[in-house]
Amino acid sequence: MFYALILVLTVLLATPYANGQGGGNVMPTELVEVARQNGCIQLSDFFGERAGPVNPPYVYGYLPNHHEEDSAVFWCKNVKSGEAPYSLIVVMRDSEHELTKLTECPHRIPWNNPPRGLSIYKNQKATLSGFVYLSNPKKKVPTNTKMTSNTIRSYYDGVTELFYCHKGEWLVSQSH
């Protein structure tokens, strides 16, 4: 009986670590599946590398005027070499309630910097001052234009990156 108890405790204690940090997903299963479909994997060690409070590597509710669960944004690690190491993926629910690609801007943002915790920034009084086009940082951004939609905020330890979809292109602003 004693050996059976030891065996059970050993299995229970070891199981959470079988699939990486915590043993399970660091984001909902539906987002893990979308990541796989896009050639990337979840950031299993996301919380293990950071001290103190941090938002998760995903957030629901990106699209304004929709139910929170109708859209999501998440970080994932690209599987193919030769690409940027990370991607920020933006998805929305279609009429069949399946997560699908965003249509207003490219649904995938290749990214070289370490991913940070995600949240949705909602400030329609803010302008595009300080933003650059992700595809062409030298292209002039209309700085006096106000944000009319939600912005994706990636933040940890004093470093912030804001991603904003403007007329079919992603803009980014970085600060620390």
> What confidence score (pLDDT) does residue 41 get?
96
Into how many domains does the chain fold? 1
> What confidence score (pLDDT) does residue 95 get?
64
Per-residue pLDDT in tens (0 to 9) along the chain, 176 residues = 433 333 322 333 333 333 333 458 899 999 999 999 999 999 998 988 778 888 999 999 998 877 888 899 999 999 987 889 999 999 988 766 666 667 788 999 999 999 999 999 998 889 999 999 999 999 999 888 999 889 999 999 889 999 999 999 999 999 98
> Running DSSP on this structure, what letter comes out for residue 16?
G
What domain range includes position 78?
2-175
> What confidence score (pLDDT) does residue 146 get?
92
Which tokens sit at 5?
């108890």
> What confidence score (pLDDT) does residue 18 get?
31
Q: Which residue has the tokens 């470093």?
A: 159
| This prediction's pTM | 0.82
Residue 173 to residue 140: CA distance in whole angstroms? 13
> What confidence score (pLDDT) does residue 103 get?
72
Strand partners, 171: 133, 164
> What confidence score (pLDDT) does residue 20 get?
35
Residue 100 is which amino acid? T
